Chain A
Amino acid sequence: MLQDLAAVDTHALAATAARYVGLLPLIPLAGFLVNGALSLIPAYTMGPGDPSAAGHDHDGAAAARAHAVDHAEQSGATGDDHHAVARHPYAAVASVVGPLVLVLSFALAVAIWLAMASAGEMRTPYVQRFFDWMVTGDLKIAWAFQVDQLSMIMVLVITGVGMLIHIFSIGYMGDDPGYPRFFAYLNLFVAFMLVLVLGASYPVVFVGWEGVGLCSYLLIGFWFSDKANAYAGKKAFIVNRIGDVGFLLGMFLLFANVGTLDFTGVAASASSLGYDSALVTTICLFFFLGCVGKSAQLPLYVWLPDAMAGPTPVSALIHAATMVTAGVYLIARSGFLFAMSPTACITVAVVGTLTALFAATIGLKQWDIKKVLAYSTISQLGYMFMGVGAGAYAAGMFHLVTHAFFKALLFLGSGSVIFAMHRAYHHTGSHEDAQDMRNMGGLRKYMPITFVLMWIATLSIAGVPPFSGFFSKDGILGAVFARAQHGALADATWLGMPGSAVLYVLYVLGLVTAFLTAIYMTRLMLYTFHGPNRTGEAEQAHLAEAPWSMTGPLVVLGVLSAAGGWLDLPAALPLGPVGVLEKWLDPVVGAATAAVAGSAGEAVTSTEYFLIGAAVVIAILGIVVAVARLKPALLVPKRDALPSHGFEHVLEEKYYVDEIYDDAIVRPLVSGSRNVLWTGIDRGIIDSLLVNGSAVLARGFGWIGSQLQSGETGAYAWAIAIGALAVLGAFTFR
């Protein structure tokens, strides 16, 4: 303990802004408290005693109530962004407090980052302890935050992108009666997310991990008066619990075998677990189970598409840019463990690749604009796991960052579109689906800024140079190819197969996924922005660009999506400083990367150019195929659409995975709980046999006793006499 304190005092960051790291999550938490207090005041009251109902505001309040009822009646299982319209009396305060705390957090994060940059290369993390949290027996867990290159990347993304999304929300959510509640949840989410990435030990990370899960649940079910939304929130929460069990078991095993849960402590003594031992593989796979739940990988991805029931800024912040990438962060953070288990590494990469491919195929046939982006997110998270699984932690984190830029842009752009669509339908009183792409089309004319920015994001995610997604995806694919050629993973065997062959297959599947990504994203753009407009004659007059408070953050994200690639240029394309992010992360993940990659460097340059060329050709081919094959002009609005057939229908129905889970797991579980556990064990054995049975038994003994009480004193006298004789006899003849 004393040594640690001394180390902290002499650390390069000791006297800089980093000593205020504890404030980072506290600032959004303060925002949560203020907005949470405001949200206790209702936007309108229902009773006749409401003073505003009698005053000038009467019509507005009545209209708001009518709308609330309308929407509750008509909203279906699609969970679209239809909702009641009523401005909260303190909306102005929430508009200031909500984004302001994020601006402050971001400023502090930038200050800490500048201090790190000026402190020169920092090989050890700056750990600040606040208090002892759990001290029992050998278990000593301090509430401590760790500032290093990896956590700073995450903090900058969370506060930076989070800030933009908060500003966007001012316009997007302004007319919602739950406006302060929305900002309260959003602030609380940021606070927990910062705890997650700053935690210096697994338990502290776990607190953030569970906290963001809670906020995700609250925000998915934000419009909880619609049952479908509330169910979606519940689904997310329950599916995530499965993964969290894995996280917990991983922690237990780690503590039982290493004796500490601090990152620095585990990293120092991880080698005692034994290279490629069953134990370290088990620990890694348990942690990966947690990541599979949180980051929506096969087979636990089913909650993320349903999570689109939440407001669109929530989808952008939580279900695309930050929370769902926590699994990637955790594996990069635990690189010292994963580097010791090639089996676990290849498992991560295989699951990631299969998820990327699987989700991309579903994305091909979705009509809901947010559902396309949801499956796209799952697919891109699969890419990140492919990267970190292949031991390319810097490449995985790079894709995490660029994905945060372009996917936040795509979601906010789709939010802009939905906002415009919803406003148009609102004007005409129509109840068409504002999120279905079949009802859009030709929006290029009405929303030129959103149109251009969405194309930048689309080209970026499709992997077209020079946009950011090209570089990060190329980094991952290149790393997978390099690992297949030589290194620890190529020499390992996975389920009896040579690791090298597995990784080559993964590389090819990654290319196929890139092709599909280009197709479904181009499809989204074509159906939304190109071709004729299908919204409706009356509605077209009301389609317009969103206000600047919403478009502004989009522009910033557009610049980041376009230029984000310069964060980590590959050596083969020296368009500027090469490998900045990789060098920045080297003190944290460099050792783990080297352990997986082996002593040899990356692929030789000629091969590298070939790989880059293949990726570019595939991306452009995907876009060309989509443009050539898809005819937006032939599309009809949703209400006139014919049902699809064959494999298309299977894709549209998402491979029936939800139905299979329902039939294979949920229904047997429910009927087993109802028929065996409830009727059989609870009511049958516990209630009938044990609870009522003991009562019957006691009553039976009581009945026997009462029969002895005949009231005949003579009988009592006989009993006493015989008893006395028996006692005498016993003493006499013993």
Chain B
Amino acid sequence: MISEALFFSAVLFTIGVVGVLTRRNAIIIFMCVELMLNAVNLSFIALSRLHGSANGQVFVLFVMTIAAAEAAVGLAIIISIFRHHKSVDLRNINLLKG
């Protein structure tokens, strides 16, 4: 039971990482990050159940709260980037170039 859950979580996380690394669209990268967060949430839940402890579930609630806040801030940033560059393609956005 636990191994399937963890395997599934790992698959989800890897999909998220690959998405972040390969895609250039800011919205899609953002969604991939959410995917990674939720993969972690899944393993928290599975391990919480395995240990019969509520600690993991409490963590998940925190992660979801943070993710919501992050989504709000992140989407706002992406919108303002779009207003400025007329694009959300990260290849065009390199203001921090040294």
Identify the A interface with B (CB < 8 A): 705-714, 717-718, 721
Do A711 and B94 touch across chains, with their CB atoms under 8 A apart?
Answer: yes
Kindly list chain A residues whose C-beta atoms are within 8 Å of the C-beta of B90.
712-714
Interface presence of B17 (CB below 8 A)? yes
Interface presence of B93 (CB below 8 A)? yes
Interface presence of B51 (CB below 8 A)? no
Task: Say what secondary structure dominates the interface of chain A.
Answer: helix
Do B94 and A721 touch across chains, with their CB atoms under 8 A apart?
Answer: no
CA distance A717 to B28 in the complex (A): 14
Interface presence of B91 (CB below 8 A)? yes
- Given A721-B17, A721-B21, are A713 and B97 also a contact pair (CB < 8 Å)? no
Do A710 and B94 touch across chains, with their CB atoms under 8 A apart?
Answer: yes
Q: List 19 A-B contacts (CB under 8 A).
A: A705-B98, A706-B98, A709-B98, A710-B94, A710-B98, A711-B93, A711-B94, A711-B95, A712-B90, A712-B91, A713-B90, A714-B21, A714-B24, A714-B90, A714-B91, A717-B21, A718-B21, A721-B17, A721-B21
Do A711 and B24 touch across chains, with their CB atoms under 8 A apart?
Answer: no
Q: Which of A705, A712, A718 contacts B94 (CB 8 A)?
A: A712
Q: Which of B17, B20, B98 contacts A711 (CB 8 A)?
A: B98
Kindly list chain A residues whose C-beta atoms are within 8 Å of the C-beta of B20.
717, 721
Interface size band for B: 10 to 19
Kindly list chain A residues whose C-beta atoms are within 8 Å of the C-beta of B1.
none
> Chain B nearest CB: distance from A711 CB in Å?
3
Interface presence of B72 (CB below 8 A)? no
> Chain A nearest CB: distance from B36 CB in Å?
11
CA distance A586 to B93 in the complex (A): 100
Per-residue A-contact encoding for B69-98, CB less than 8 Å = 1, 0 else = 000000000000000000000110111111
Kindly list chain B residues whose C-beta atoms are within 8 Å of the C-beta of A717.
20-21
Chain B residue nearest to A708 (CB atoms) is B98
Cβ-Cβ contact count across A and B, 8 Å cutoff: 31
Kindly list chain B residues whose C-beta atoms are within 8 Å of the C-beta of A712.
90-91, 94
Kindly list chain B residues whose C-beta atoms are within 8 Å of the C-beta of A714.
21, 24, 90-91
Do A711 and B96 touch across chains, with their CB atoms under 8 A apart?
Answer: yes
CA distance A717 to B18 in the complex (A): 10
Kindly list chain B residues whose C-beta atoms are within 8 Å of the C-beta of A709.
96-98
Most buried by B among A705, A706, A713: A713
Known: A711-B94, A711-B96, A711-B98. 11 other contacts (CB 8 A): A709-B97, A709-B98, A710-B98, A711-B97, A713-B90, A713-B93, A714-B90, A714-B91, A717-B21, A718-B21, A721-B17
CA distance A575 to B79 in the complex (A): 123
Chain A residue nearest to B95 (CB atoms) is A711
CA distance A712 to B98 in the complex (A): 11
Most buried by A among B20, B24, B95: B20
Chain A residue nearest to B96 (CB atoms) is A711
> Chain A nearest CB: distance from B69 CB in Å?
20
Kindly list chain A residues whose C-beta atoms are within 8 Å of the C-beta of B95.
711
Kindly list chain A residues whose C-beta atoms are within 8 Å of the C-beta of B24.
714
> Chain A nearest CB: distance from B15 CB in Å?
13
> Chain A nearest CB: distance from B35 CB in Å?
14
CA distance A214 to B93 in the complex (A): 73
> Chain B nearest CB: distance from A469 CB in Å?
88
Chain B residue nearest to A709 (CB atoms) is B98
CA distance A516 to B90 in the complex (A): 102
Chain B residue nearest to A722 (CB atoms) is B21
Chain A residue nearest to B23 (CB atoms) is A714
Chain B residue nearest to A714 (CB atoms) is B90
Kindly list chain A residues whose C-beta atoms are within 8 Å of the C-beta of B96.
709, 711
CA distance A637 to B86 in the complex (A): 102
CA distance A710 to B95 in the complex (A): 9
Kindly list chain A residues whose C-beta atoms are within 8 Å of the C-beta of B17.
721
CA distance A707 to B97 in the complex (A): 8
Chain B residue nearest to A713 (CB atoms) is B90
CA distance A705 to B98 in the complex (A): 8
CA distance A705 to B94 in the complex (A): 16
Chain A residue nearest to B33 (CB atoms) is A717
CA distance A29 to B95 in the complex (A): 74
